[in-house]
Chain A
Amino acid sequence: EDQVTQSPEALRLQEGESSSLNCSYTVSGLRGLFWYRQDPGKGPEFLFTLYSAGEEKEKERLKATLTKKESFLHITAPKPEDSATYLCAVQGGSEKLVFGKGTKLTVNP
């Protein structure tokens, strides 16, 4: 059974304080690992897809990396508007995504 575990559950940062979120996964035949951002009362918003170990993707202050067992979402010099829940998901042998519980990030000004 495909599984995703995200840590920490919650993270508080000061504006400008860089950090990383972790996503550990087990999946039969990884077809893709996905990062989404979810704001309160909204649906998840797609950020990145990673397909193979060693791959990296960047967007503004965010960088996602992938190994054979985990993915990291690095946040550099975060701003208050980066506050959200970040969800990690994997796609294995079917079209469905298996999500983790998410990391709730709060960036204080």
Chain B
Amino acid sequence: GAGVSQSPRYKVAKRGQDVALRCDPISGHVSLFWYQQALGQGPEFLTYFQNEAQLDKSGLPSDRFFAERPEGSVSTLKIQRTQQEDSAVYLCASSFRGQNTGELFFGEGSRLTVL
């Protein structure tokens, strides 16, 4: 596709359920990021991949959060045993660069609501 594609766009989960959010980056983009954006806040870094290697996961808030990019293309962010504080928009971004990756192409996000 022409841009970064994320699915689902909206997800409602009951507290304690597991969720999986998918990101399809722009074809050929080396770097992939996940950010979390709470209402009225700026995006906060979660994790970063270069190809299939997860090089930085320092922003993942707990061990309930897990991300993978097994073939260096599509990525999945998984949240286990969801809590209400996990409610946010999860943004995926990609860049063709392997380094100096500040110029990012963002998807429209997956809005997660935990009841």
Q: Are A44 and B106 in contact (CB under 8 A)?
A: yes
Binds B, one of A13-21, A55-63, A68-76, A94-102: A94-102
Residues of B within 8 A of A87 (CB): 42-43
Q: Are B42 and A102 in contact (CB under 8 A)?
A: yes
Least distance between B20 CB and chain A CB atoms (Å): 19
Q: Are B33 and A49 in contact (CB under 8 A)?
A: no
Q: Are A43 and B42 in contact (CB under 8 A)?
A: no
> Assuming A34-B103, A43-B4, is B43 touching A99 (CB within 8 A)?
yes
Interface string of A73-109 (1 = CB under 8 A from B): 0000000000000010101001111111110000000
A15 to B100, CA, bound (A): 36
Residue from B31, B55, B58, B109 in contact with A43 in the complex, judged by beta carbons closer than 8 Å: B109
Is B99 an interface residue when CB atoms closer than 8 A count as contact? yes
CB nearest neighbor in A for B41? A101
Residues of A within 8 A of B43 (CB): 44, 87, 97, 99
Q: Which residues of B come within 8 Å of A, CB atoms?
A: 4, 31, 33, 40-45, 48, 55-56, 58-59, 91, 93, 99-109
